[in-house]
Amino acid sequence: MNPPLPSGRPVPPAKYRGRIAPSPTGWLHAGHARTFTVAWKRAEDSGGTCILRMEDLDTDRRKPEYTAAVYEDLAWLGLRWAEGPDTGGPHAPYTQSERMDIYRRQWKALRDSGCIYPSPHSRKDVRGALSAPHEGANESVFPPRLRPPPGTGRKTPEPGSVNWRFRVPDGRVIRFTDGRCGETAYTAGQDFGDFVVWRKDGFPSYEFAVVVDDHLMEISEVVRGEDLLRSTARQLLLYEALGWRAPAWYHCELVCDAEGRRLAKRTEAQSLRGIRKAGMDPVALRVSLFAPKR
């Protein structure tokens, strides 16, 4: 029997710490508005704190104009944060690209424990590791036969220019309780394989950076889109490997367009700035986002 993974602990109200974690890789859309509003509201309702973290590790797609638009759009929506890249705070810096030393330290902890290994087999997994690997992105399970023997890489002083993967416990069922989706389970080695924690371009993967940050920033509940449920299972393995207690989870419903497709970050017409330019009021947007479905 595997020990139960430490997730879903109840959060004492005064200690609630939530986060809004946009990536400046495109225009924010109504789906982001919905998720970020839920994150902010859950912190407000708990008498807790909401922080802002800029997740800018996708060096190919991030752009300064997207970062500027994030601030404008969130202000237009009426969301506020107590700590963030603009306001500072006890866990600064709040921009991921400024936290590389912190990630490198935790990479070393994983390397020493032998649960990661250097992997020359990149393929499209690298693409998946660039930013949040959203559901439906055609994930392929990394074949276990490509794993090197245990102990490989333990003496490597720096990540270097190769991907580092987490050796998942094949067949293990990862269970957690989600605040909205309820009991959730994924099987390691089946629903996902050895995933990248450090990219060969020199940056930590989304999975790894987000776990390090959520832990060190003392986030008590992670609110994000339900396309990241599977990612949560991977992240629970990282929490365990690092010896950290996981936060509670709350995965929000996604917003789709009239054809039932998920909104795209690269379509300006669907973006919050597009909605704003079209003259919509933020309160009206919020009402429409949270209206009960007919």
Question: 118 or 233, CB closer to ligand GLU?
Answer: 233
Q: What is d(CA 247, CA 207) in angstroms, rounded to the nearest whole number?
A: 14
Set 63, 155, 265, 293: catalytic member: 265
220 binds ligand GLU per the rule CB under 6 A: no
Radius of gyration of the chain (CA): 19
CB nearer ligand GLU, residue 21 or residue 174: 21
User: Using CA atoms, how far apart are residues 190 and 174, in angstroms rounded to an integer?
Assistant: 11
Cβ-based neighbour number of residue 141 at 10 Å: 15
CB of 96 to ligand GLU, least distance (A): 9
Q: Known catalytic residue: 265?
A: yes
The distance of closest approach from Cβ of residue 80 to ligand GLU in the complex, given in angstroms and rounded to an integer, is 18
Tally of CB atoms within 10 A around 229:
17
Question: In 3D, which of 277, 270, 293 has the Cα closest to residue 33?
Answer: 270
| DSSP letters for 85-104 | TTTB-TT---BGGG-HHHHH
Q: Which of 115, 130, 210, 236 binds ligand GLU (CB under 6 A)?
A: 210
From the CB of 39, what's the least distance to ligand GLU, in Å? Answer: 8
Minimum Å distance from CB 256 to ligand GLU?
Answer: 16
Q: Which strand (E) or helix (H) includes residue 248? A: strand 248-252
List the x/- string, 45-64, binding to ligand GLU by CB under 6 A: ----------x---------
- Residue for token pair 């930590």: 204
Q: Are the C-beta atoms of 76 and 28 separated by less than 8 Å?
A: no
- Beta carbon of residue 151, minimum distance to ligand GLU (angstroms, whole number): 31
User: How many H-runs (helices) and E-runs (strands) does the chain carry?
Assistant: 8, 9
Interaction residues for ligand GLU, span 99-138 (CB under 6 A): 132
Give dist(CA 264, CA 262) in Å, integer: 6
Q: How far apart are CA 9 and CA 177, in angstroms?
A: 9
Among 5, 11, 16, 23, binds ligand GLU (CB under 6 A): 23
Residue 178 touches ligand GLU, criterion: CB under 6 A: no
Longest Cα–Cα distance of the chain, Å, equals 59
> Judged by CB under 6 A, does residue 22 bind ligand GLU?
yes
- Nearest approach, Cβ of 76 to ligand GLU (angstroms)? 18
Measured from the CB atom, the residue of 30 and 119 that comes closer to ligand GLU is 30
* Stretch of residues binding ligand GLU (CB under 6 A), selected from 15-23, 63-71, 105-113, 151-159: 15-23
| Residue positions annotated with a catalytic role | 265
The footprint of ligand GLU (CB under 6 A) covers 21-23, 55, 132, 210, 224, 228
